[in-house]
Structure 1
Amino acid sequence: MLRAARRAFAFRPYAEVTLRGIAADAGVSASLIVKHFSTKERLFNTVADFGPAADQLFAAPLDALGRHMVLTMVRSRREQQGDPLLRVVFALGNDDERVLLRERFAEQITGRLTALLTGRERALRAELIVGQLLGLGATFSLHREGANARAAPERLAELYAPALQRLISD
């Protein structure tokens, strides 16, 4: 349900999104969505909450954070068939809900990462790290059957994490 809702809210204006449409896309009944979320507004607020993704992504000490973030992204993609961050890329319109999605992302992901970092240019480094994580998610989406789909998570982390870690530790 959440995957279908994320897609709907990312690609269409809030006013055009219906619980019935989300239900149809998810292969469930609209009443099941109402049972879990009560209203479209509550469902949107759940979709627009990046806090759980941040909790998972940043659950490591700074000296191991780059590797942890890559492994978290890979495992999330493979186990849940979804990316914890990529939906924000599709929220590029000016509708209020898309602005809210970007604002929450900036606060809950980029802002939280900025607060975790030490040293100089923390905000810049956080933005660059988040950009690299979004790029990793986009690569997974573009090359669903590519070499990355067959690579072990540890190998992907071995290749990708050093660039993130350099930004974390700078």
Structure 2
Amino acid sequence: MARRSGEATREEIRVAAARLFRERGFARTSVRDIAAQAVINPALVIRHFGTKELLFLETMSFTIDDEPLFDVPLEQFGERFIEVLLADDDIRGVYLALVRGSNEPRIKGRLQAVHERTFVEPVRRRLTGPDADIRARMAATVVGGLLYALWVVEDEGLAHASRPELITRYGALLQQALTPT
């Protein structure tokens, strides 16, 4: 068997870890599992990343493409945001992995950063007025509630709703939070 370069080994570890963390979460994924998936010695995982937690933090991140969010008038932003969010399958796995690992302080910090960077900031950029920040944060809680219900507790009623219905209804809730009183 040919030897891999350090960079190739590092990338194989990242790919294996990302897949396992999304499937199993932080606590149920061991360094040995990651190494077995990457077909390497477990010591190499630690050599390349230091700790399982640092590897998790490096592999579990996501962003939402802001461009489609700025292509619509503010009055249509709620539906468009929910549509973009539900269309990205990668978000579900990373979101669940972050939530499941949030009892670890650094992972909780990453979840807070994702909340701020992915949900609050894109919304705040679209708003004006002295209450823009609170409206953006309230809108983020609407989004967080949807993700929690769909992916953490797997609410059967919502799970069976059609994507267009979720977009319309949650878009309206989000739009209401965005609208100044």
Q: TM-score, normalising length from structure 1?
A: 0.65
Summarize deviations over 1:23-81 as a string: whole Å, max 9, x none: 67xxx3355xx89xx6353552231x34x2363784543332210122233333xx558
Measured on the aligned residues, the alpha-carbon RMSD in Å equals: 3.5
State yes or no: 1:67 paired with 2:84. no
Pairing of 1:132-151 with structure 2 (within 5 A): 132-141=142-151, 142-143=153-154, 146-151=156-161
State yes or no: 1:167 paired with 2:180. no
Note if contact 1:60-1:68 (Cα within 8 Å) is conserved in structure 2. no
Which residue does 2:124 correspond to in 1?
114
- Count matched residues: 152
CA distance in 2, matches of 1:8, 1:137: 16
Residue 162 of structure 1 deviates from its aligned partner by 1.0
SS in 1 for 2:128: coil
Summarize deviations over 1:125-168 as a string: whole Å, max 9, x none: 11111111111111113236x23333221111222211111222
Q: What is the letter of the counterpart of residue 25 of structure 2? A: A
Which residue does 2:110 correspond to in 1?
101
State yes or no: 1:53 paired with 2:64. yes
Greater displacement, 148-157 / 84-93: 84-93
For structure 2, the 5+ residue unaligned runs are 1-15
Distance 1:56 1:139, change over 3 A: farther
Note if contact 2:85-2:91 (Cα within 8 Å) is conserved in structure 1. no
Which residue does 1:21 correspond to in 2?
33
SS in 2 for 1:82: helix
The higher-RCO structure (CA 8 Å, 6+ apart) is 1
CA distance in 2, matches of 1:88, 1:143: 16
CA distance in 2, matches of 1:59, 1:165: 15
Percent identical pairs in the alignment equals 20
Q: Which residue among 106, 118, 127 is the counterpart of 2:137? A: 127
Q: TM-score, normalising length from structure 2?
A: 0.62
Note if contact 2:25-2:101 (Cα within 8 Å) is conserved in structure 1. no
Q: What is the letter of the counterpart of residue 124 of structure 2? A: T
